[in-house]
Structure 1
Amino acid sequence: MTTATRAYVSRLAGLPVFDPNGDRVGKVRDVVVALRVGTAPPRVLGLVVEVVARRRIFVPMGRVTTLDPGSVVLSTGTLNLKRFEQRRGETLVLGELLDRRVQIAESGRPATVVDAGIEQNRTGDWVLSRLAVQEPGRLGRRGQLHQLAWDEVTGLALPQTGQGAETLIATYRELNAADVAHALQDLPIQRRHEVAEALDDERLADVLGELPEADQITILGTLEEKRAADVLEVMDPDDAADLLAELSNVDRNRLLELMEPDEAEPVRQLLQYTEDTAGGIMTSEPVILTPDATIAEALARVREPELSPALASQVYVCRPPSATPTGRYLGLAHIQRLLRTPPSTLVSGVLDDLEPLRPEAPLAEVTRYFATYNLVAAPVVDAQGRLVGAVSVDDVLDHLLPEDWRERARRG
């Protein structure tokens, strides 16, 4: 296999990393460089590699024997599995250089860094030798793209002010929300807030749901209040309620007032329940159908992409109204039963009359309920026989684990 002597960093992101025996070690998450005085190109120190349990470690560039468009191969030796901590004088190419505003030295025109090229010199050392920069576009068009040597660009030694995030976000496009949350936590605080500001509402809502509560509160606090309310509107109601519960009464009520009434009402309902009860951990938006719905309609509903696998595992049949709190709860139908029954059959004909949970049921009772009936989701019904929500297994796990489990997982 021929080893490449030049590569662009955005194309390295996500590449699998293998040891000499062909066993997968992890995947590339960033490149660490050391900026130098004057116009000398930065020296590449190594790679940030994500290994098991999302732990990020540092792999010196000297350990890299093969660098090609499909993978990275390391030399023999023991890897230092200590969690990567950025040191003074180190710069993350994806995390800190992309989207930096610079000037093209020859023309003095402004541009934005959209990629960076590293190459191996004659002595075998790797340096960040080239930059891809793009001038501002006009009338909605993309500006001219330039491939320039490091010394043909100025402005990278200046403090990070007004840095955009579009290019960095593009490298996160294929990551799930949990991986983006981990990537955010490894960025400098200012950069983290810039990226959060640039994410669209739905993506930011998904990412916030995967962050520790302290980070959720910090990021929400950096947003304008109207934007914060918009993000809360697209969060799952239970996640939004958990986040708002951590705020002061004044801040909580102000954000609820800024939310659309239809979006705020389910969150207000969830805030009434005590934490660590079925009502406190449930979602108020399960799949609810009326008794005259067919199995074909039920299967169409559970195909909705925004549903989690747990909530898509079953549907709940209730008398109108169909929004929580509903009319009288009649029962639930599991997706396996739906798949085995003719589509024209009424869902009300294949119901499981399993006794539902009460909103005040403590977490221990909820856990026993799931274990007893081998469920991944369960209905919650109030004293008037109305469905008020459903608890999913991920809600249960989230409350059984220590409060800082996300941070522990990140730190390995």
Structure 2
Amino acid sequence: MKIFVARLAGTSVFDPAGDQIGRIRDVVAGLRGTRPPSVHGMVVEVQPRRRVFLPMTRVRGIEAGAVVFTGKLNVRRFEKRASETLVIGEMLDLTVMIDGEPMTVYDVAMEERKPSSWEITKVAAYRGRRRRDPRIASWEEVSGFDVLQKDQGAAGLIAAFESMRPADMASALHELPGKRRVEIARALDDDRLADVLEELPPRDQIGILGTLEPERAADVLEEMGPDDAADLLHDLPEDQAARLLSLMEPQEAAPVRRLLTYPHDTAGGMMTTEPVILPPSATVAEALAHIRHQDLTPAVAAQVYVTRPPNETPTGPYLGVTHFQRLLRDPPSTLLGAVLDPSIDPIKPDFTLPDVAFYLASYNLVSAPVIDELGRLVGAVTVDDVLDHMLPQDWRERPHL
């Protein structure tokens, strides 16, 4: 049976009882000169975002959308040995020679030579940047996998990661060597890179942003949520942050500048400046249409804030909030001004992190409106913002948590 490895990325892994325990993130192989590499096992991501090793000797079945193993899974964190190679992370996009011609690898295939013994036997490659003349060659026909390449490219690996959520792709990038991480980041479009940067540890964020041209870095910051962009700029040297802000479009930089005026661990420093805001004359149907937008996180989409115009932060006078559940109970033609929750008082930007956490916990909320001294809505603090600030600063680098 021949299995193309790139297609395994994201495949669910099931234990002998039929319970899903994680997803395939990579395949580990050992190069052996001109001989087909032996496949040692698979890198499986289990919750909470911990990567462990599944030996091929434990794999009992590989089917469409499922890998089944037997025995027990060692949950010790996976660490690649010097003699090992990550097939998806390090082999895809390499330039190799086939019949004396340079070609780019976009997949490799592995086969079970004998029970529980797998080898990489085929290489799928193409010519040029437009994927011309794709070809599948035997391993023995290919050379160049053992050559260090300055610019490996990223199209194949990005294709393998395409279906991943930003948090999972960030986890995958974090595990790659620094050179490979930068290659992938540079090849992503601005929107996708912004989503991934929001999920990376600060050290990785700063490292990747520093490899981009300043104009590109400013474009990526514009695609990030203002609160995430402000958090990242907080961690940069003051002169670098100021330059990037000056390169951003004024309307995109304005909310980020406002957030930077608040202390990092206060409601003002944590809040998003882009909650769902509508006037009191809007209807329930309009509100539901707004929170249905796929780019909103569940915490942001759980409520609609009602203000006088203008309805962008900082808004006109804040009137109140209505919750998703209430919107589902009222007729679509009902005006928002008639369905406000009178029991929810807004908070001030200077509320500390413990204050905000206490507020959300006391009222069983996932978000809190933040108003300034003029009674204008300036943003909303969501429960995920609070968790992000309450966890240790390096929590994204500590999967064992």
TM-score, reference length from structure 2: 0.95
Corresponding residue for residue 387 of structure 1: 377
Q: CA deviation at 1:402?
A: 1.5
Secondary structure at 2:32 match in 1: coil
Secondary structure at 1:345 match in 2: coil
Q: CA deviation at 1:93?
A: 0.5
Q: CA deviation at 1:309?
A: 1.0
Q: CA deviation at 1:224?
A: 1.0
Corresponding residue for residue 356 of structure 2: 366
User: What fraction of aligned residue pairs are identical, expressed as a percent?
Assistant: 57
Return the alpha-carbon distance in structure 2 between the equivalents of residues 92 and 161 of structure 1: 18
Q: CA deviation at 1:12?
A: 2.1
Structure 1 range deviating more: 285-294 or 9-18: 9-18
Gaps of at least 5 residues in structure 1 are none
Matched, 1:206 2:201: no
* Equivalences for residues 81-230 of structure 1 within 5 A: 81-105=75-99, 108-122=100-114, 125-136=117-128, 142-230=131-219
Q: 1:46 aligns with which of 41, 44, 48?
A: 41
Matched, 1:301 2:290: yes
Structure 1 range deviating more: 282-291 or 10-19: 10-19
Return the alpha-carbon distance in structure 1 between the equivalents of residues 65 and 368 of structure 2: 44
Gaps of at least 5 residues in structure 2 are none
Secondary structure at 1:402 match in 2: coil
Q: 1:337 aligns with which of 321, 326, 336?
A: 326
Matched AA of 1:400: M
Q: Quick check: 1:298–1:315 contact (8 Å CA) kept in 2?
A: yes
Corresponding residue for residue 405 of structure 1: 395
Return the alpha-carbon distance in structure 1 between the equivalents of residues 5 and 333 of structure 2: 54
Return the alpha-carbon distance in structure 1 between the equivalents of residues 315 and 180 of structure 2: 44
Structure 1 range deviating more: 381-390 or 6-15: 6-15
Give the 3 Å change call, closer, same or farther, for CA 111–397 of structure 1 in structure 2.
Answer: same
Matched AA of 1:17: V
Matched AA of 2:68: V
Q: Which has the higher strand share?
A: 2
Matched, 1:36 2:28: no
Q: 2:253 aligns with which of 264, 276, 300?
A: 264
Matched, 1:74 2:69: yes
Return the alpha-carbon distance in structure 1 between the equivalents of residues 149 and 59 of structure 2: 30
The runs of at least 4 aligned residues of structure 1 exceeding 6 Å deviation read none
Give the 3 Å change call, closer, same or farther, for CA 40–217 of structure 1 in structure 2.
Answer: same
Secondary structure at 2:149 match in 1: coil
Give the 3 Å change call, closer, same or farther, for CA 352–160 of structure 1 in structure 2.
Answer: same
Q: CA deviation at 1:151?
A: 1.7
Matched AA of 1:260: E
Corresponding residue for residue 231 of structure 1: 220
* Equivalences for residues 238-257 of structure 1 within 5 A: 238-257=227-246
Q: Quick check: 1:11–1:69 contact (8 Å CA) kept in 2?
A: no
Q: CA deviation at 1:310?
A: 1.0
Secondary structure at 2:120 match in 1: strand
Q: Quick check: 2:371–2:378 contact (8 Å CA) kept in 1?
A: yes
Secondary structure at 2:210 match in 1: helix
Q: Quick check: 2:10–2:164 contact (8 Å CA) kept in 1?
A: no
Q: CA deviation at 1:63?
A: 2.3
Give the 3 Å change call, closer, same or farther, for CA 41–264 of structure 1 in structure 2.
Answer: same
Give the 3 Å change call, closer, same or farther, for CA 74–355 of structure 1 in structure 2.
Answer: closer
Secondary structure at 1:41 match in 2: strand
Matched AA of 1:378: A
Q: 1:287 aligns with which of 276, 293, 307?
A: 276
Q: Quick check: 1:283–1:390 contact (8 Å CA) kept in 2?
A: yes
Q: CA deviation at 1:58?
A: 1.6
Structure 1 range deviating more: 83-92 or 44-53: 44-53
Return the alpha-carbon distance in structure 1 between the equivalents of residues 345 and 303 of structure 2: 15
Q: CA deviation at 1:70?
A: 4.0
Corresponding residue for residue 54 of structure 2: 59
Secondary structure at 2:18 match in 1: coil
Q: CA deviation at 1:123?
A: 8.0
RMSD (Å) for aligned C-alpha atoms? 1.6
Corresponding residue for residue 13 of structure 1: 9
Return the alpha-carbon distance in structure 2 between the equivalents of residues 305 and 69 of structure 1: 28
Q: Quick check: 2:56–2:116 contact (8 Å CA) kept in 1?
A: no
Q: CA deviation at 1:256?
A: 0.3
Return the alpha-carbon distance in structure 1 between the equivalents of residues 164 and 116 of structure 2: 33
TM-score, reference length from structure 1: 0.93
Structure 1 range deviating more: 170-179 or 337-346: 337-346
Deviations 1:235-263 (A, max 9, x none): 00000000001111100110000000000
Return the alpha-carbon distance in structure 2 between the equivalents of residues 57 and 65 of structure 1: 18
Q: CA deviation at 1:124?
A: 6.0
Return the alpha-carbon distance in structure 1 between the equivalents of residues 281 and 393 of structure 2: 43
